[in-house]
Amino acid sequence: MRLLRAAALLIAGLSATAPWIATPVPWIVRHEGGWSFPIFGVGDAVDVSLFIIAGAAAAWTLRSRGRIAVVLLVGVCLLFRAVGTTMDPPPVAAEIVVRAPIPYDGVTRDLSATRLPVGISTRHLLGTDATGRDVAARLLRGVRNSLAVAILVTIVATGVGIVVGLLLAAGPPVLRLPTDLLATTVVAIPAILVLLAVRTVAGGGIVPFVAVLATLRIPAIARVTHASARDLLAAPFVRAAFGLGLPAVHVYARTIVPHASGAAYALAGFGIVGAILAESALGFLGLGWSSTTPSLGALLEETRDLPSSGGLVAFLLGVVLLGIGSVAADVTRRSARAGETRP
Amino acid sequence: MTLSLRFDRVVVARDGATVVAVDQVVVDAARGCVVSGPSGSGKTTLLRALAGRLDRAANVSGHLVLCEAARETRWDARGMPPPSVRTAMIPQDASAALDPLHSAARFLAGVADDHGRSPDDVRRAVAAVGFPESRLFASTAHLSGGEARRVLLAALVVADPTVWMLDEPTAGLDDAGCARVVDVLDAARASGRIVVVATHDARFAERTGAARFTIADGVLVAESRSTPAASSPPPPASGTPVVAWRGFSFAIGGARRIDVDDAVLVAGSVVGLVGPSGAGKSSFCAALSGETPAASGSVELDGALFAGRDRRPVGSARRRIGWVRQDALAALDPRRTARYLVSEAAESSGAVSEALGLAELPESLLARTPGALSGGERQRVQLARILASGPRVLLLDEVFAGIDPDRRARMLRRLRAWAAGGDRAVLLVTHDHGFLDAEAIPRFVTAGDRILATEPAC
C-alpha cells in the first residue's frame, strides 16, 4: 500500500510538472554568450498555478522533513522562473546541454514514427500512438489534466454544496421540498445525457464540462451538510453563540461550518476519485472537455489497440487512481481526526 | 461524655466515580444530623459507608473519626468502624430486612439477646415506638410497611448503639408515627448517641431539630435552616431600574407553565433565584434572555421592551442579557481555544482583559480548548466570554457549582463591583440557600409553578 501510494505521488508529482518534463524545449542551453535556461520560460499561468497547488498538496500530505523539501523545491523553481527568463539571452548558435527527460509535448504529430512499441526508441519511452505522438508525454499531461479537472469539480461541488446545505438549514422550511425534488431529479439523470444536452446548447470546453460534473455532485454534499447543520443549530454552543448577539453570518462561518463540513470533506475525498472516473469515462466516449488536450479517458481510447503500450498505460492509470484514492482517504481521515475533541 | 462524629475529606466512590463527598463536617451527639437531597444523590451510600457496609465496588477515602472528649477513634483503612464503636442502621426497605418466618417478638428477643438486654428493655422499646402489642406475635410477613419500620426502630432502641443510622425512617408512617420517631431520636440524643438520618421528609427533618445537610452534586453541604419566607426578598426598586418583568410567564417541558411575580432589578443589584432542580430556573433564564419565547408578559430593559409574548430580541440586542449557562462544556465550541471564545464576541480588547480579570482566568489557560479545561475553568471561560460581550444583565446559572469557595467569594465581590460600576444587574441562579445566606444576597424562590418575588420586607 505504501509502495502504491509512493508510486501515485510520484506520478501525480511528475504530471504536475508535466509541462516542464515533457516538452521539446531544452532545459539548459550553451551558446556563445554563456548559459541559458529556456525551460524557465515554459508554461502559462495555469501550468504554474497547478504546479503550486500540487506542491501545496504534497506539502500538506507529507511529514515535516518532506514538507520542507517540497516547499523549498517549489520556491526555488518559482524564483528561477521569475529571474531566469529575464536574463535569458537570444540563443545564437546554441548547443543543447540538458534536454527534458521526455522531449515531446504529446500534441505534435510525427508521421515518420507512428505506432512505435515500448522499448524500441530510447526517446519514446512508452512508444508512440497512431499519429506519432509520444505516449509517455501524453500520459503525464493526461494525468495532470484529468486530475486538475477532477479537483476543480470537487472544489466547486463541495463549496457550492456546503453553501446550499447551510442555506437549506437556515432558510425557511418552504424551500426544502422543492430543493429536495430538484436534488433527486439531478441525481436520477445520467451524467452522459446531461452532458450531451449541455454540449448541444453550450458547446464543448472546460466550463460546461466542470459545471455539469459538479452539479451532479452537489446534492449529496448539500444533503449531508444540511443534516449536520440542522443538528448543530440545536447544539447548546451554537445557541449560546447566537445568544451572544454575534451576527448570523459570523456564527455560521466560524461555529457551524467547521463542524458541519466534516461530512462534506469526507465525501470530497471519494469525490475526487469519482470525478476522475467520470471524466475518464466521458473522455473515453469522446465526450471529454477537449478533443486535442490529452486526458485519461481519451488516452485509454487512443492506446487500447497499440500492441504493447496500451496495456501498460491502462495499468499505470489504475495505479494512479488507486494511489489518489488512498491519499484522499488518508487526508480525509486526518481532517476528521482534527475535528475530534477530547472529552 | 461529649461524643461527636467527624468527617474529614471523606469521599465515597464507586467504580472510580465519586458518589458522595464530605469535606469537613462534624456531627454533634446533642444535635445529630439529617441528610436530605434528591433520590440517587448518595444518602444511603453515605449511611452505608458510616456503617462499614458498602458493597465491594465502592470504597471510602479520607477519615471518619469518632471523637470522645480528647480521644479519637478512626474507621480503619477498609472503611470498617472500630470495634469499640457500635453502629446500627435501619435500612430503607424495612420489610425486606425482617425474616418472614419469625414474629416481631422473636426478632426483638434475638436482638436483645445479642446485646445483653432484658425482656423489659424490649417491652419499653416496643411501647416507645408505638408498635401495637397485639401484633407482636404475628409473622413479620404480615406487617405493614409502617409496622415493619417500627419493629426495626424498636430493635435499634433495644440495641442502643453508639451511632444510630436511619434511612428514611418515616416512610409509610403517619403524623403520629412520625412524632414517635422524633421522640425516640430525641431520647437517643439525650443519652449521648449520635443520630444520622437520611430522609426526604422535610416535615420530619424540621421536627427533629437536628443539623440539616443536603447532598448537592455529590457533596454533603449544610442546608440553610431558614425557610424561604424568612429569607430577605429582593430589594424594592430604589435606584435606576435595569431590568423589569411584568406578568411574565413561560412554559417548561411543554405542558407546565411557570408564572413569575413582577419584579425590578435595579442598577448594581445582585439577586439570587433559588429552587430545587426541575423548578424551571434555567428555563426562566432562557425566557428572560430571549432564547425561548415567553408565554405571556414582558421584559423591559432600560425602560424599553426587550422580550415578551410577541417579541423576541434578535441579533446584537441579545447580548444585553447575558446568560451564563449551567453546562459550560456544551455551551462552548469544542474546537476553539479559550482565547478565541472570550474575544469572539468582545466589544474591545479592553473588555477582554477586564472579563479575564473578573473571571480570574490566567493567560496560561487561554490556549486550551474547552475539553482540556476543568469544569470550573470552563465555567469561568464561559463567564468571561459573556462578560466581554458587554451585557447589561448577567444571568449566572449555577455558575459557581464547580468553583471553590474562596474564589467564589472573590469573584462575587468583583461582580458586585462590576454591576455597581456600570449600572448593571446580576441574577444568581442556584439551589444553594447557604451560599446566598453567607453572602447576604436577597433572592427569588420557586414555589411549585411560580417564581415568587416574596412580599417586600420594608
Q: What is the mean pLDDT of residues B182-209?
A: 84
Q: How many CB atoms lie within 10 A of CB A152?
A: 16
- Tell me whether residues B315 and A248 touch, CB distance under 8 A: yes
* Contact map slice: A 207-236 vs B, CB within 8 A: 235-236
Per-residue model confidence (pLDDT) at position B374: 83
Per-residue model confidence (pLDDT) at position A93: 59
The predicted-structure confidence for B132-145, as pLDDT tens digits, reads as follows 888 888 877 777 77
Q: What is the mean pLDDT of residues B181-207?
A: 85
pLDDT at residue B446 tops 90:
no
- Tell me whether residues A246 and B345 touch, CB distance under 8 A: yes
Kindly report the average pLDDT of chain A as a whole number: 82
Residues 6 or more apart from B40 whose CB is under 8 A from it?
Answer: none
Residue A237 and residue B386: Cα distance in Å, rounded? 13
pLDDT at residue A89 tops 80:
no
CATH hierarchy code of domain B228-452:
3.40.50.300
Q: How confident is the model at residue B281 (pLDDT cuts 50, 70, 90)?
A: confident
Q: How confident is the model at residue B199 (pLDDT cuts 50, 70, 90)?
A: confident
- Alpha carbon separation from A112 to A95, A116, A132, A133 (Å, rounded): 25, 10, 7, 10
Q: How confident is the model at residue B355 (pLDDT cuts 50, 70, 90)?
A: very high
**Which range is least confidently modeled, A70-74, A177-181, A268-272?**
A268-272
Q: Using CB atoms, pick whichever of B315, B331, B369 lies closest to residue A245.
A: B315
How many residues comprise chain B? Answer: 458
Residue A329 and residue B39: Cα distance in Å, rounded? 50
Positive or negative: CA dihedral A94, A100, A106, A112:
positive
The CATH H-level superfamily of B3-222 is P-loop containing nucleotide triphosphate hydrolases (3.40.50.300)
Long-range contacts of A86-94 (CB under 8 A, 24+ apart): A87/A36, A88/A36, A88/A37, A88/A38, A88/A40, A88/A41, A89/A31, A89/A33, A89/A34, A89/A36, A91/A29, A91/A31, A91/A36, A91/A38, A92/A31, A92/A32, A92/A33, A93/A31, A93/A32, A94/A29, A94/A30, A94/A31, A94/A36
**Which range is least confidently modeled, A3-7, A215-219, A258-262?**
A3-7
Establish if A254 touches chain B: CB-CB under 8 angstroms: yes
Rounded to 5 degrees, what are φ and ψ at B199? -155, 155
The predicted-structure confidence for A152-176, as pLDDT tens digits, reads as follows 999 999 999 999 999 999 888 888 8
Residue A107 and residue A118: Cα distance in Å, rounded? 19
Per-residue model confidence (pLDDT) at position B40: 66
CATH hierarchy code of domain A135-339:
1.10.3720.10
Q: How confident is the model at residue B455 (pLDDT cuts 50, 70, 90)?
A: very low
Per-residue model confidence (pLDDT) at position B392: 92
Query: Which residue from A155, A332, A157, A165 is spatially nearest to A260, judged by alpha carbons?
Result: A165
Q: Using CB atoms, pick whichever of B325, B330, B345 lies closest to residue A245.
A: B345
The predicted-structure confidence for A45-54, as pLDDT tens digits, reads as follows 888 888 888 8
Q: How confident is the model at residue B234 (pLDDT cuts 50, 70, 90)?
A: low
pLDDT at residue A77 tops 50:
yes
Per-residue model confidence (pLDDT) at position A321: 79
Where exactly does CATH 3.40.50.300 map onto chain B?
A: 3-222, 228-452
Q: What is the mean pLDDT of residues B44-50?
A: 85
Q: What ipTM goes with this model?
A: 0.70
Residue B258 and residue B279: Cα distance in Å, rounded? 9
Percentage of chain A modeled with pLDDT above 90: 10
Q: How confident is the model at residue B236 (pLDDT cuts 50, 70, 90)?
A: low
Residues of A in contact with B289 (CB under 8 A): 243
Yes or no: say if B12 and B42 are a contact pair by the CB < 8 Å rule.
Answer: yes
Per-residue model confidence (pLDDT) at position B1: 54
Q: How confident is the model at residue A327 (pLDDT cuts 50, 70, 90)?
A: confident
pLDDT at residue B356 tops 90:
yes
- Name the residue ranges covered by the structural domains of chain A: 25-98, 135-339
- Tell me whether residues B330 and A241 touch, CB distance under 8 A: no
Residues of A in contact with B389 (CB under 8 A): 244-245
Per-residue model confidence (pLDDT) at position B228: 43
Q: Which residue has the higher pLDDT, A216 or B84?
A: A216
Per-residue model confidence (pLDDT) at position A343: 34
Q: Which residue has the higher pLDDT, A309 or A188?
A: A188
- Looking at chain B, which residue has its C-alpha nearest residue A243? B318
- Tell me whether residues B344 and A244 touch, CB distance under 8 A: yes
Q: Which residue has the higher pLDDT, B49 or B209?
A: B49
Kindly report the average pLDDT of chain B as a whole number: 83
- Tell me whether residues A244 and B389 touch, CB distance under 8 A: yes
Per the structure block, which three cell numbers stand in for B183?
A: 421522640
Per-residue model confidence (pLDDT) at position B172: 66
